[in-house]
A and B are shown apart, each in its own frame.
Chain A
Amino acid sequence: MALKRRDFLKGAAALGAGTAAGFPHIWLKSASLAQAAGGTIKVGVLYSLTGTTAIIETSLNQATILAIEEINAAGGINGAKVEPIIEDPASDPATFAQKARKLVVGDKCVSVFGSYTSASRKAVLPVFEKYNNLYWYPTLYEGRECSKNVIYTGAVPNQQQKDFIPWLVKNFGKRFYLIGSNYIYPKEENNVCKILLKKLGGEVVGEEYVPLGHSEFSSVIQKFKDTSPNVIFSTVVGDSVVALHRQYKAAGLDPKKMPMASLTTSEEEIAAMGGEFAAGHFTSAPYFQSYDSPENHKFVEAFRKRWGKDKVTNFVSEPAYFQVHLFKQAVEKLGGKDITPPNIRKASWGQEYKAPEGLVKIDPKNSHTYLWPKIGEAQSNGQFKIIEESKEWVEPLPYWAYPGQVCTPDGLETKKT
């Protein structure tokens, strides 16, 4: 019997109505409040395990699971076990949003740990703001964000560069060439760099952005040779990092005279490009695997034992690890009552934890984290030698480059000048 259009429309309408009635949380806002009850605390783990950024996000997933297992082995949080719900958004921001919705609305997680790229964070932000949930974001980023539903445990530009730029100027000179990938993160970092250089009397001899994934740097290297900067401030990401380093060395340039200073080259990228191409260049980050502290040794050992003895830890997987412990302390403080995302957020303010990099604290003013910037020189064995480290923790100022704006616990405020 042929399906008449009328019958089809009736059937579809009935199905739609049935779905809406059967899943009230789609349109009832109050039904989406995530509450933890009955002995387990559900958290979402949202890192790409496949796709272009899977390379680094897998390590974030592994660090998160390691921390959760440690917490559960020690008895959980006030006796309740932490249950991770792992989703794979496949390096696609749209899928990030979809999976985030599933974790927040469907699984009713009280918090979600996730994201590496700013694009994926921006994609999931509406989900967390609409359902008033909590997102823990461990990756260094460009700042300029102040969401009431995110806790940021990665470094912002003022923490990355406040000591780095003066050190570079002092040790190498005042002429900087800025090269970055063509998107918001390098542009904001370069903005901060230029402000700092101006204060130090430095000079920007070139500023350039290459397409994401670009790998042909012969023109760029020619410009390096032409303008003779003292420092190449590099914010290229991904494949471009590897290509740039290799072509730099193949062209005969010398890191002792014209080093590349970057915020994004980690132990993972060095492994991909080959130690001899990385040697002699510098990175600024709050964490390096080679950092000598008892907490770090314990972390690296535990990570290797759990995931493989050839694994490396890096300055994104370390925050992914310690943020789970900060979460645990916040939930513990609630004492088993009313474990909801807004309460966890308030309880996390001021929490301190002895992370592998040092003692970290969540800043109540802007939900960012006090961190310990360090400067490392890449070695040919794939690790970093720590040349300088900050004597005290550095306050996070996500709007440092924008004096008219400040991040407060209630959101972004514009100062009346």
Chain B
Amino acid sequence: MTDAINQLFTGLSIASILLLISLGLAIIYGTMGVINLAHGEFVMLGAYSVWFLQKFLGIGLIAGLVFVFIIVGAIGWFVERTIIRHLYHRPLDTILATWGIGVILQQAVRLGAGAELRYVKMPDSLTQAIPIFGVDQSAYRIFILLLTIALLVATYYLIFRTQFGMRLRAVTQNPEIAKCFGINTARVYSMTFAYGAGLAGIAGALVAPLKSVAPDMGTNFVVDAFMVVVVGGVQSLLGTVASAAVLGQVSGVIAFLANDTLAKALVFFGVVILIRFWPQGLFAMKMRRG
């Protein structure tokens, strides 16, 4: 019984971190069709932002999350305005451009902040392990889980219950018609990209105390994020959640029964097979793209 509870929580924790990282990418890719290979670097920037805030301005992790969202969101907005917006009709070029942006960001951070592993302090209130159903779980991981759910709810609300969300959905369905209706598509795209980047930043900030902060930490994350988005189905929030849950739990189980190396390999293998039979992912939106 303890095993099962432990396993459930391990899977939930891995899944919540996966979802946190992929949410921003799902929004950007789902709504704009932009394959943002710099997504991992936005996560990295979030981690470095929270380190910077903590080290030089003395702002703690939880208080700093808002600032991190704004900082990385602003960087995302800037990137979209200067580079991405010229490449909407050229998906292959977007891949190259965002990869280049990722490399530039990585090296800029390395030159600016140095290549050493950086230390981000976990909030004191969350360093303990608290017993859940009689089994000790890391309080910080539970915090991440709860915050991920909160962000998910906030994103859902933003997309389905606000004016901005409605405009976003309209632009996603058919940008030309949306323009005819007077929607400023350029503005919608910028804000969406900024939102996605901001989410990635928060993901990086939350993950930083649990892992480590280095300039190349983003590369691993972007691979996992793309896997989640591709399996879940583009343009489907529910798909992303389901996919993160499945992938997280499965890799947790395999890692427990065998080891992490095998888990990674088998999960990738499983994803390849899944995509072969369901190319649109688990929850594909059936609609014609304009």
List of B residues within 8 angstroms of A273 by Cβ = 117, 119, 212
List of A residues within 8 angstroms of B3 by Cβ = 226
Would you call B122 and A222 a contact (CB within 8 A)? Answer: no
Asked if A195 CB lies within 8 Å of chain B CBs, one says no
CB distance from A317 to the nearest CB of B (A): 14
Interface residues on chain A, number (Cβ under 8 Å): 37
A112 vs B20: C-alpha distance in the bound complex, in angstroms? 47
List of B residues within 8 angstroms of A39 by Cβ = none
CB distance from A265 to the nearest CB of B (A): 12
Asked if B256 CB lies within 8 Å of chain A CBs, one says yes
List of B residues within 8 angstroms of A219 by Cβ = 10, 251-252, 255-256, 260, 263
Asked if A119 CB lies within 8 Å of chain B CBs, one says no
B256's contact among A216, A223, A268, by CB below 8 Å, is which?
A223
Interface with B: A15-23, A248-256, A391-399, which one?
Answer: A248-256
Q: How many A-B residue pairs have CB under 8 A?
A: 104
Interface with A: B96-104, B214-222, B229-237, which one?
Answer: B214-222
CB distance from A379 to the nearest CB of B (A): 16
List of B residues within 8 angstroms of A125 by Cβ = none
Would you call B17 and A55 a contact (CB within 8 A)? Answer: no
Would you call A249 and B118 a contact (CB within 8 A)? Answer: no
Chain B, residue nearest A274 (CB): B119
Asked if B140 CB lies within 8 Å of chain A CBs, one says yes
Asked if A220 CB lies within 8 Å of chain B CBs, one says yes
Would you call A215 and B252 a contact (CB within 8 A)? Answer: no
B154-211, CB < 8 A from A:
209-211
CB 8 Å contact bits of B95-125 with A (1 = contact, 0 = none): 0000000000000001000011111011000
CB 8 Å contact bits of A213-234 with B (1 = contact, 0 = none): 1111011101101100000000
Residue from A218, A246, A269, A272 whose CB has the most chain B CB atoms within 10 Å: A218
CB 8 Å contact bits of B1-38 with A (1 = contact, 0 = none): 00100110010011001000000000000000000000
A55's contact among B116, B139, B210, B251, by CB below 8 Å, is which?
B116
Subset of 25 A-B contacts with CB under 8 Å: A50-B115, A52-B216, A54-B115, A214-B260, A215-B210, A216-B211, A216-B260, A218-B252, A222-B10, A223-B256, A242-B117, A243-B210, A246-B210, A250-B138, A250-B210, A251-B138, A252-B136, A252-B137, A269-B117, A271-B119, A272-B116, A273-B117, A273-B119, A274-B119, A274-B121
Binding site for B on A (CB under 8 A): 50-52, 54-55, 182, 208-211, 213-216, 218-220, 222-223, 225-226, 239, 242-243, 246-247, 249-252, 268-269, 271-274, 276
Binding site for A on B (CB under 8 A): 3, 6-7, 10, 13-14, 17, 110, 115-119, 121-122, 127-129, 136-141, 209-212, 214, 216-217, 220, 251-252, 255-256, 259-261, 263-264
